[in-house]
Amino acid sequence: MSDLIVESDDNKNQSLKTLTLIVYVLYALSYFTGLTAIVGIIINYVKKDDVAGTWLESHFRWQIRTFWFGLLWAVIGGATLIIGIGFAVLFANFCWIIYRIVKGWLNLNDNKPMTF
């Protein structure tokens, strides 16, 4: 019976890891499709309790912060386009989001939590 419980936990953890990977993919695809990051953030909030207390919780926190701070800087960049610095802000935001997606994805692949 205890082997069955351990196997069930392993399956659940693998499922949650796959879901975390899907959110990273959705965030990356948002540069091409525009809306997939919204699907990703919804998944983060809906499944947040499922990853609580696991090493994947740090990835969800990382993803949620990436979304909201990326959105904030996109709005600031868009608002400052008229005064000329908006392009630099948007480019820096683009680089920062790509960095966070890649770093998160690599840590997830290595079964490592995100460190802040």
The tokens of 47 are what?
């499944």
Can you tell me whether residue 34 is helix, strand or coil?
coil
The tokens of 41 are what?
């953030």
Distance from C-alpha of 80 to C-alpha of 44, rounded to nearest angstrom: 30
Can you tell me whether residue 116 is helix, strand or coil?
coil
Q: Each residue's pLDDT tens digit in the chain (116 positions)? A: 444 454 467 788 899 999 999 999 999 999 999 899 999 999 999 999 999 999 999 999 999 999 999 999 999 999 999 998 999 999 999 999 999 999 999 999 999 999 87
Domain ranges of the chain: 2-109
pTM exceeding the 0.95 threshold for the entire prediction: no
